Amino acid sequence: ALAPLVVDALHKRGRTAALMLRGPGKGGLSALPSRINSDNPRCAIELHLNSGPPKATGSEGLVAEGAVRGRALAEKLQGALTTTLSLPDRGVKGRPSSERGGYFLHNTRCPACIVEVAFISNPADMAMATAKREELAAALADAIVESLK
């Protein structure tokens, strides 16, 4: 999994980072922003794998509509993704609270974004993301540190 590698890379860069999981016993999706907000972090990032038709490819970022600081964070991460994986840049897209990921994006107080690393439904995307997992974790950690300056 990529998230623990990003947390480790941030620790190696002298940064505090936490991994919060969703699922049974964690309060579900609606509890996540409150759990994050209670820690008062400088940013919150969800790492996802996109899904679509087998030929769909690329990386993208999702942010709350109008979220200037969230967009700046997502754009740094998007640059790290596309440079490291050499996948198409699907851009950073604003989301209303009613759309996929919107609850997290709109209810987390710190800059927040969702990073769609690659398409799980595309074998070539997944092969690239898997082969470059360590390099990608380091690039994402560097982008996070840079965005928090």
Half-sphere exposure for 63 (CA within 13 Å, toward CB): 24
131, exposed or middle or buried, with CB in 10 Å at 0-12, 13-18, 19+?
A: exposed
Residues 19-63: tens digit of each pLDDT: 887 666 666 677 889 999 999 999 999 999 999 999 999 999 999
Mean pLDDT on 85-106? 95
Token code pair at residue 60: 């993208």
Rounded to an integer, what distance in angstroms lies between the CA atom of residue 67 and that of residue 110?
A: 10
- pLDDT on residue 45: 96
CA–CA dist 18, 11 (Å, integer): 10
Please report the pLDDT score of residue 84 as a whole number. 97
Model pTM greater than 0.75? yes
Element (H, E) at 12: helix 2-12
pLDDT in tens, 67-89: 999 999 999 999 999 999 999 99
Q: Answer yes or no: are the C-beta atoms of 58 and 119 closer than 8 Å.
A: yes
